[in-house]
Amino acid sequence: MPCNHPDSNPKTIGKIRGKIDNPTYPEVKTGMTGHVETVKVVFDSSQTSYEDLLRLYFETHDFTQVGGQGSDIGTQYRSVIFYCDEQQKKMTEKYIGILTDKGYKVATALEPATTFWVGEDYHQHYYDKKGDTPYCHIYRKIF
């Protein structure tokens, strides 16, 4: 499984899925490669749980927006959670169910993780480098 390799960086920007190996951002942003821009999160389960990460994801991400995120529109920006195993899949399905029961129309897809391609250097720590406030993230208490 692509999730089981060691990684010293707890969060890495990159791409997943798609029709070509090791795509560049200019290729992905066309929307023609089938890749999704994503963040790979490596976590220590003795410090935090997958469930905690799910809650944070859904409380800081617009999981109801179809076809993009904020002003970033296109299939390459769609809302997806890529799971590494059946336990993560079931936990994510549980939270999507909770949100649906609360009346939300969840647009977030749930798909198995495939090869993760690390993004270009200029995408890593983007907001730290730019000094900007994230434009497509909000926090709202849901759970």
Q: What is the reported pLDDT for 76?
A: 85
Q: CB pairs under 8 A, 24+ apart, for 66-70?
A: 66/107, 69/136, 70/135, 70/136
- Looking at residue 86, its pLDDT comes to 97
Please report the pLDDT score of residue 7 as a whole number.
Answer: 58
Quick one: pLDDT at residue 113? 94
Closest C-alpha to 39, from 70, 7, 87, 64: 7
pLDDT averages per 10-residue partition of the chain, 143 residues: 58 86 91 90 91 94 88 87 96 98 98 89 63 69 92
Residue extents of the structural domains in the chain: 11-130
Res 8: pLDDT: 55
**Which of left, alpha, beta for 113 (phi over 0: left; psi -120 to 50: alpha)?**
beta
pLDDT (0 to 100) of residue 1: 44
Burial of 8 (0-12, 13-18, 19+ CB in 10 A): exposed
Return the CATH fold of 11-130: Peptide Methionine Sulfoxide Reductase; Chain A (3.30.1060)
Overall pTM surpassing 0.95 (yes/no): no
Q: Give the pLDDT score at 136.
A: 63
